[in-house]
Every structure is written in structure tokens, then in C-alpha cells.
Amino acid sequence: MARLLLLSLPGLVAICAVDGIFMDRLASKKLCADDECVYTISLARAQEDFNAPDCRFINVKEGQQIYIYSKLVKESGAGEFWAGSVYGGDQDDEMGTVGYFPSSLVEEEHVYQEATKEVPTTVSVLGLR
């Protein structure tokens, strides 16, 4: 189930179709550990709180652990964002929340594998209304 959620993440890069509102891309490429960006790159810890500005992003609390799956390639004028998942305080929370957050928000604690695969971000319609 978590793999299915991660596979839908690339579509969030290009657009977020909520009530027909289309948003600018955050980047056209990302770095991943594999071609589908489903394997964990690293584990990081949030150094401060972050409130998601729109549905592509995740809310993060200071001290929360984040599993990193991809790192967007910085483009001119854009900030650097990473994609990852956070889990609630409940140990039974198996799905977690997946989305983007500023890389400056976290400190990587453990690198599992290097993000060496450059993958284009894709455009997909989420069909949300």
C-alpha cells in the first residue's frame, strides 16, 4: 500500500488538481535511488516545524523523522525540495503522509543509498474534486 502511495508522488510535482487548480512545477528532474523513486534514500530529522503551503507538501514537526525518497533538482529561482514520508505519533500509523518539504528543514541522520538516478518528473491528473 505504501508503495502505491509513493508511485503517485511524482504527479504531485507537476500539478495538484483540487477543484481544477493547477500549480507550477517544483522541478523537471529529481534524484532517486531507483527508476521509480520508491526506495528510501535516507532518514532525516526535522530541525523546525513546517506548515504545508499546499497539497503537494507535508506538515512536519520539529524532531519528527522523515524517510527521504527523492531530491528535486534545483532550478533557477526555485528552492530545493525533497520528497519523503512522515508518520504520526501513533505506532499503528502504517501509511504515513507523503509529500515535499524544504531540504533546509532537515538534517540527514543516516544515508541508506546514494541518490544517483536522475529521473524526470511527470505530469498526471489526480482526479480530485
**CATH, domain range 37-116:** 2.30.30.40
Q: Is 78 helix (H, G, I), strand (E, B) or coil?
A: coil
pLDDT for 123 equals 54
| pLDDT per position as a tens digit, 73-96 | 877 655 689 999 998 765 555 667
Query: Rounded CA gap, 118 and 51, in Å?
Result: 28
The count of C-alpha atoms lying within 13 angstroms of the C-alpha of 6, restricted to the half-sphere facing its C-beta, is 21
pLDDT for 60 equals 93
pLDDT for 48 equals 96
Domain parsing of the chain, residue ranges:
37-116
If you average pLDDT over residues 19-47, what whole number do you get?
84
pLDDT for 97 equals 86
The model's pTM is: 0.72
Distance of CA 114 to the CA centre of its chain: 16
Query: Rounded CA gap, 31 and 20, in Å?
Result: 29
